[in-house]
């Protein structure tokens, strides 16, 4: 779906492996391929920018061996520009980060693009769209957080739907996708699509479901 047009094609699904069994990560990404997930969302947290620690570039490198799927690496770390080259080398296909965590947003985005990867910026619920506006001609994706970054399984903040609508207008006819991360559930899949979301990150909604493949299909068909 192009944000500037009227195309109402399928929403992409990006299950977050943060909600998978960490002892069975290889199996988890292989299952995502079988379940027809569009993107594999990887939440990297440093315990500083956010109050939680998950995994780093070694996990991305390990997962790369088990899937040809798109590895969408969301960096929730301070000074992401220091580590982006390592995540590129590990096999990330898309790298996004929070502009308020970086000392050199433009430089970090250029590093990603120069490596032939897709890049994007992420906004927590309290961060304004003006933070991404200077970079709209560079980025490929905007992630709007539906919860505050740091932990999986949080409740969705409904007001973030308005930010998606505003972001869609701001993007105009640029080829930029809007990704909603956090709090997605069968209760709001339709609302997320109608607001203008192109990619839904679904962690608990997929991995905690009795039939994960059916949840992914449900999002595709919403």
Residues recognised as catalytic: 43, 181
**12 bridge partner residues:** 199
Angle at 179 between CA 106 and CA 206, to 5 degrees: 135
* CA pair distance 215, 220, nearest whole angstrom: 9
Cα torsion angle, 16, 219, 13, 166, sign: negative
Pairs from 77-83 (Cβ < 8 Å, separation ≥ 24): 77/44, 77/45, 77/46, 77/48, 77/49, 77/101, 78/46, 78/48, 78/49, 79/103, 80/108, 81/107, 81/108, 81/111, 83/56, 83/57
Residue 148 phi, psi dihedral angles, 5° rounding: -80, 130
Classify residue 128 as left (phi > 0), alpha (psi -120 to 50) or beta.
beta
Under the phi-then-psi rule, with left for phi > 0, alpha for psi from -120 to 50, and beta for the rest, what region is 183? Answer: left
């Amino acid at each position: 779906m192009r944000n500037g047009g009227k195309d109402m094609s399928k929403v992409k699904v990006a299950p977050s492996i943060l909600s998978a069994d960490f002892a069975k990560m290889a199996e988890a990404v292989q299952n995502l391929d079988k379940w027809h997930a569009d993107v594999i969302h990887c939440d990297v947290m440093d315990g500083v920018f956010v109050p939680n620690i998950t995994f780093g570039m070694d996990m991305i490198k390990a997962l790369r061996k088990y899937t040809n799927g798109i590895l969408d690496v969301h960096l929730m770390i301070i000074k992401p520009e220091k580590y982006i080259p390592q995540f590129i080398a590990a096999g990330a296909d898309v790298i996004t980060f929070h502009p308020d965590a970086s000392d050199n947003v433009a430089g970090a985005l250029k590093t990603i693009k120069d490596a032939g990867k897709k890049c994007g910026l992420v906004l927590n619920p309290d961060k304004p769209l003006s933070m991404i506006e200077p970079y709209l001609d560079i980025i490929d994706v905007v992630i709007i957080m539906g919860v505050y970054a740091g932990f999986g399984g949080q409740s969705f903040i409904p007001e973030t739907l308005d930010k998606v609508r505003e972001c869609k207008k701001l993007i105009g006819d640029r080829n930029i996708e809007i990704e909603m991360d956090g709090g997605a559930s069968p209760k709001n899949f339709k609302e997320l699509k109608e607001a203008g979301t192109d990619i839904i990150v679904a962690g608990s909604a997929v991995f905690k479901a009795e039939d994960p493949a059916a949840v992914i299909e449900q999002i595709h068909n919403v």
